[in-house]
Amino acid sequence: MFGWALLADVIPLYPLYALLFSDTGLSDAQISALFVIWSAVGVLAEVPSGALADRFSRRACLVAAGVLQACGYAGWILLPSFTGFAVGFVLWGLGGVLVSGASEALLYDGLVAAGAEEQYARVNGWVTAAELLAQIPAAAAAAVLYAVGGYPLVGWVSVGVCLAAAAVASRLPEQPRGTGSADGPDDEPGYLATLRAGLAVAAHRPGVRAVLVAAAVLGAFDAVEEYFPLIVAGWGVPTAFVPVVDLPIVLAGVTGAALAGRAARFRPWMLAAVLGGAMLLFGTAGFGGLPAGIAAVAVFYGAFRCVLVVVDARLQERIDSRSRATVTSVAGVGTDIATFGLYGAWAIGAAPLVAVLGVLVAGALPLLLRPPVVPGVGSSR
């Protein structure tokens, strides 16, 4: 799983695709429209794709995601226009929702089969750390490839990496979901029944809905990563050095995710205290300048990443295998919707307002993460 996670995110186009759009002649409005299309695909297709993973194969979803993403990037290179970029974002968006939910379900059920489900936070933390760490070689590869062959070479190498990730995904082990019947796979529910069952679990299973809300809302704060370069540049750092100065923040996120296994033992009020303190640091970072500001943002990002992984683990503990990808995808839709609100908060009040919202979320965590009241369901933490 670590190899797939790392390979799937070492995409040289990631640091450059916005510049590709701009250099092709697209206006800021057109680029924003592309991002809206990308987000809309995520909102519309997230839950249906989760049900596909639950009904058929989580591993196949990861393979299909790599192929769709590769096709999207190929379209960008072959048809560099608004239409080509829009089609590419639709394909990339579909690939993204196929991964969301399916990857968590594949990992958690694999650990259950090994009798090690209590290790999910630790293992998923390392997987998340690998995904974040991939930004470093991706940026280095982008610089070298662009210097040698411009956007076409960057694009075709990205296509190749996506197909390689799909090949690696095809070798991942997948555990069969229990049918609840001795009659075998012929009694498997259909796709619509699987979708309805997953939505019912998300809405009515004791203890699930509250943790799902926590995972969805907290996940939206990951969008602040997009603003880190702007924060750094605002402290007077030249554009050429922004990625270098931003590196400690990325590494802090890697460290925080890697430490999630230890934080999984924290009680909800302890997680709330960690998150609340981190949000306060983030809200005041803008007043510190360099290097204190970088340190504050780095501590925030590391703590946030750690808590986010633990909250996801709390959610997975309370979901049955059959509905795991669907319910996780419901949380993903909630994150997509909440992210729009976070963008609005940043536009109104930048980091201080976002931090205030984060403190409110932290204050709600003890309530949202409390154990379910129905005996035998969920976690005792």
Is-cis flag, bond preceding 206, omega within 30?
A: no
Asked if residue 141 and residue 55 are part of one domain, the reply reads yes
Asked if residue 212 and residue 88 are part of one domain, the reply reads no
Residue pair 318/306 in contact by the 8 Å Cβ criterion: no
Please name which of 345, 340, 365, 301 lies closest in space to residue 220, comparing C-alpha atoms.
Answer: 340
Asked if residue 222 and residue 88 are part of one domain, the reply reads no
Of residues 285 and 180, the one with the higher pLDDT is: 285
Does residue 234 belong to any structural domain of this protein? yes
Q: State the pTM of this model.
A: 0.77
Task: Quote the number of domains for the chain.
Answer: 2
Does residue 182 belong to any structural domain of this protein? no
State the pLDDT at residue 380. 43
State the pLDDT at residue 256. 94
Asked if residue 164 and residue 48 are part of one domain, the reply reads yes
Does residue 179 belong to any structural domain of this protein? no
Residue 379 has pLDDT above 50, yes or no: no
Residue 183 has pLDDT above 70, yes or no: no
Does residue 124 belong to any structural domain of this protein? yes
pLDDT in tens, 243-288: 778 889 989 999 999 999 999 999 999 999 999 999 999 999 878 7
Question: Which of 173, 192, 211 represents a domain boundary (last residue)?
Answer: 173
Residue 377 has pLDDT above 50, yes or no: no
Asked if residue 208 and residue 152 are part of one domain, the reply reads no
Residue 114 has pLDDT above 80, yes or no: yes
Does residue 311 belong to any structural domain of this protein? yes
Domain of 101 in residue numbering reads as 1-173
State the pLDDT at residue 73. 96
The CATH number of the domain holding residue 142 is 1.20.1250.20
State the pLDDT at residue 47. 82
pLDDT category, 310, cuts 50, 70, 90?
very high
Residue 305 has pLDDT above 70, yes or no: yes
Lowest mean pLDDT among 41-45, 95-99, 252-256: 41-45
DSSP 8-state code for residue 101 = T
Please name which of 122, 80, 77, 46 lies closest in space to residue 313, comparing C-alpha atoms.
Answer: 122
- Max mean pLDDT among 42-51, 142-151, 179-188 falls in 142-151
d(CA 54, CA 105): 9
Of residues 193 and 270, the one with the higher pLDDT is: 270
Residue 197 has pLDDT above 80, yes or no: no
Average pLDDT of the residues in 349-362: 94
Does residue 195 belong to any structural domain of this protein? no
Which residues lie closer than 8 Å to 97 by C-beta, 6 or more apart? Answer: 41, 42, 45, 46, 49, 50, 329, 332
Asked if residue 169 and residue 45 are part of one domain, the reply reads yes
Asked if residue 321 and residue 225 are part of one domain, the reply reads yes
State the pLDDT at residue 176. 74
Asked if residue 102 and residue 166 are part of one domain, the reply reads yes
Asked if residue 21 and residue 167 are part of one domain, the reply reads yes
Asked if residue 151 and residue 51 are part of one domain, the reply reads yes
Give me the chain's average pLDDT, please: 85
Question: Which of 173, 189, 217 represents a domain boundary (last residue)?
Answer: 173
Asked if residue 142 and residue 19 are part of one domain, the reply reads yes
Does residue 190 belong to any structural domain of this protein? no
d(CA 54, CA 322): 6
DSSP 8-state code for residue 117 = G
Does residue 263 belong to any structural domain of this protein? yes
Asked if residue 219 and residue 161 are part of one domain, the reply reads no
